[in-house]
Structure formats: structure tokens, C-alpha cells
């Protein structure tokens, strides 16, 4: 009996081809204007974070435009105080740490790691890499705003977005198809609320952890306490891995700087206790209304954001991922029903 070969024919319509081309072209255009997208995303994130405070002032019968101005003055005052009081000593400690690294490396060479040990190689390269890393971090931070001009643009966009909220809403309504208008607006509002809760909660956690860890190190007399506290706060955004890295870094610095053994043990225990208090008390209390992102999703988002846009992309990756999650949760059931 002869096997019959069936001919399989795939038909691709011109419309499908055009859609694929249009999609690829859109991706290419977005990639070309990625620096502008970063500015817009930063403005959007700041707007979402500040919106509840503006609404609170409005409820106190303060005009919206005046509320935004008051909030901006307060924000700039806090930012100015941070730059004036925190940045100089942090920069000084980073400079001292860079200069002291060769000495710490030579101290550790007394321990028999072996010439081919990965630890030895890491320590030998640490001094030269730190300066480059600091430069990369600075360049990444600058890339978030794109320099002074982009920083001014971000603040201007945020200001007008906060003042003219209804105008933006009317424009958005005009662009949405009538049959999807109500659901999409409700979803956007939900994204804004959840993202705002997450952002404010995360910033508060970063501040608390940074201040507490830095204060503990300062009381113990550990060198570079301010830098280590700032590092602990910044790494707080990365679940599990971030706090672990900050704890190991603090213990390492305490060890190589010649701190007493009991101080090193206290540093380790203190970081563990602070982390447990955060997980059991602070996070459930502060983040109870926020969008819950899986730690794996957070880490993947950070890696993708860093790969696409550097540190600026990593900073914006988590809020974007949180927004995508809300949209997915809202529309995935509808897609499955079709």
C-alpha cells in the first residue's frame, strides 16, 4: 500500500505581511527614540508617585496648580538638602575606599587563597574596577535624565501632567476606541494606583533600610558607613539578592578594615535581624496595597532594562513591569475566552 504524501499549503495574506512589517518598523522606531522614551517614562513615574499628594492638598481646598507648586518646592528642597548634605561625604568615602583598596588587597594576600584562586583574581582586579564601576554608575544615573536639558524636560513634563490631569485624560479618551474606552480607562487608573503604591512603598523601604543599616555601622565605628548604608538602600529594590549583597559587602569591609571580631559578628547579625523585621513587619504593612511582583520577574526586568538602556533602564524596568502585569491580569482572561 503506497503512502500518500499530503501537500501542506500555507497561505499568508498581504495584510498579515503588512502587520508584521509595521510591527517591526514600530519596534525599530521605538529603539531609535529610546532616550526620549526614558525621559517620558521618568516623567510618568514621578507623576504617578506625586499624584496622591496633589489630590490630598486639593482636598484641603488648595487649587491644583498651587498644590503642584508647593509640592515641587518641597521636593526640590529635599533634593537640594540631599545633594548638599549627603553627596559630598559619600563622594569622599568612595574616594577613600578607592585609595584604600590596594592596602586591603595586600592585607588579604596574607591569607592562603592561592595564586590561581578566583578570590585572589577578584581582589587583584577590585581596585582598578571600582573606579570604572563608579564611572559607569554615574554615567547610568546621568542617562536617566540625559543631562541638564533632559532633567528640566522631565520636571516640566511632570509639572504639566500634574496640573493638567483632566486635559491629558480627555486626550486619552479621544484616542481610545469607543467599545474599549470604559474598560481601558479603568485599567489605566488601576495601573496608576498600584504603581504609585508600589513606588512610594519601595522608596520608603529603601530609605528605612538605608538609614537603619548605615546608622548601625556608624555606631559600631565601621568605616564607610554612609556608603554602605546608601548601598543597602539602593540594593533594596532587588529582592533577596540585593540585601544579601549589601550584607556581605558590609561584613567584608568590616573585616578588611580591621574591625574587631565581635563587631564583624554584630554587623552580620544586625543585617539579618533588619532583613527579618523588614520581611515580617515592614513589607506587609507598607506594601499591602502595592502590585506584587515575583522576585524572578523583578530580577529579569532589571537585567532586560540594564541591557537595553543601561542603569536608567534598570531603574525604570520594575515600574514598567508592574504596569504590564496589571494590564496582563486585566486582559488575559478576555483573550482566553476568545
Encode pLDDT of 84-109 as tens digits. 888 888 888 888 888 877 777 776 66
CA within 13 Å, CB half, 328: 8
Q: Which of 177, 200, 172 is nearest to 188 (CA)?
A: 172
How many angstroms separate the Cα of 131 from the Cα of each of 140, 184, 309, 310?
A: 14, 47, 21, 17
How confident is the model at residue 251, as a pLDDT? Answer: 92
Going by C-alpha positions, the residue among 322, 289, 292 that lies closest to residue 305 is 322
Q: Give the predicted TM-score (pTM) of the model.
A: 0.70
What per-residue confidence (pLDDT) applies to 131?
47
pLDDT at position 8 is 53
Residue with cell 488601576: 190
Give the pLDDT score at 3: 53
Give the residue among 283, 296, 288 at the shortest CA–CA distance from 325: 296
Q: What is the pLDDT of residue 266?
A: 95
Residue from 300, 325, 326 nearest 314 by CA: 300
Q: Give the largest Cα separation in the chain, rounded.
A: 89
Q: Could you tell me if 47 and 159 are in contact, meaning their C-beta atoms sit under 8 angstroms apart?
A: no
What is residue 96's predicted lDDT score, i.e. its pLDDT?
84
Flag residues of the chain having pLDDT under 70. 1-13, 107-148, 166-181, 287-294, 309, 311-312, 315, 330-338
The CA radius of gyration of the chain, in Å to the nearest whole number, is: 25
Q: So what's the pLDDT on residue 272? A: 94
Mind giving me the DSSP string for 110-156? TS---TT-HHHHHHHHHHHHHHHHHHHHHHHHHHHHTHHHHHHHHHH
Cell of 254: 568590616
C-alpha cell at 315: 531603574
**Extents of the domains making up the chain:** 34-175, 194-333
C-alpha span between 318 and 327 (Å, rounded): 14
Q: Please state, in angstroms and rounded to a whole number, the distance separating the CA atoms of residues 338 and 336.
A: 5
> Which cell is 2 given?
503506497
**What integer pLDDT is reported at residue 84 of this predicted model?**
86
- 8 Å CB contact between 140 and 309: no
For residue 287, the SS3 value is coil
Give the integer Cα–Cα distance in Å for 279 and 284: 7
How far does Cα 298 stand from its chain's mean position? 9
Q: What's residue 6's pLDDT?
A: 57
Grid cell, residue 300, equals 529579569
Nearest to 256 by CA among 119, 48, 133, 106: 106
Would you state the pLDDT for residue 83? 83
Amino acid at each position: 500500500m503506497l503512502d500518500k504524501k499530503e501537500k501542506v499549503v500555507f497561505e499568508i495574506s498581504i495584510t498579515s505581511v503588512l502587520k508584521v512589517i509595521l510591527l517591526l518598523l514600530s519596534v525599530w522606531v521605538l529603539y531609535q527614540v529610546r532616550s526620549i522614551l526614558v525621559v517620558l517614562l521618568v516623567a510618568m513615574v514621578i507623576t504617578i508617585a506625586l499624584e496622591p499628594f496633589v489630590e490630598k492638598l486639593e482636598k484641603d481646598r488648595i487649587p491644583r496648580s498651587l498644590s503642584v507648586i508647593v509640592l515641587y518646592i518641597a521636593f526640590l528642597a529635599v533634593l537640594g538638602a540631599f545633594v548638599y548634605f549627603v553627596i559630598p561625604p559619600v563622594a569622599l568615602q568612595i574616594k577613600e575606599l578607592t585609595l584604600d583598596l590596594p592596602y586591603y588587597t595586600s592585607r588579604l594576600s596574607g591569607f592562603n587563597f592561592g595564586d590561581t584562586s578566583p578570590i585572589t583574581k577578584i581582589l587583584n582586579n577590585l581596585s582598578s574596577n571600582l573606579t570604572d564601576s563608579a564611572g559607569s554608575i554615574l554615567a547610568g544615573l546621568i542617562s536617566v535624565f540625559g543631562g541638564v536639558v533632559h532633567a528640566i524636560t522631565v520636571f516640566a513634563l511632570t509639572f504639566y501632567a500634574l496640573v493638567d490631569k483632566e486635559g491629558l485624560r480627555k486626550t486619552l479618551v479621544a484616542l481610545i476606541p469607543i467599545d474599549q474606552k470604559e474598560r481601558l480607562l479603568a485599567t489605566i487608573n488601576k495601573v496608576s494606583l498600584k504603581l504609585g503604591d508600589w513606588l512610594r512603598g519601595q522608596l520608603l523601604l529603601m530609605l528605612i533600610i538605608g538609614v537603619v543599616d548605615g546608622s548601625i555601622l556608624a555606631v559600631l565605628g565601621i568605616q564607610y558607613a554612609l556608603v554602605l548604608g546608601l548601598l543597602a538602600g539602593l540594593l533594596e529594590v532587588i529582592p533577596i539578592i540585593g540585601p544579601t549583597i549589601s550584607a556581605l559587602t558590609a561584613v567584608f569591609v568590616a573585616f578588611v578594615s580591621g574591625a574587631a571580631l565581635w563587631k564583624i559578628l554584630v554587623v552580620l547579625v544586625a543585617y539579618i535581624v533588619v532583613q527579618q523585621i523588614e520581611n515580617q513587619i515592614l513589607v506587609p504593612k507598607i506594601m499591602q496595597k502595592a502590585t506584587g511582583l515575583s522576585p524572578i520577574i523583578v530580577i529579569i526586568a532589571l537585567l532586560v532594562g540594564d541591557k537595553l538602556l543601561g542603569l536608567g533602564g534598570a531603574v525604570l524596568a520594575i515600574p514598567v513591569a508592574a504596569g504590564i502585569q496589571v494590564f496582563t491580569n486585566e486582559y488575559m482572561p478576555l483573550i482566553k475566552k476568545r
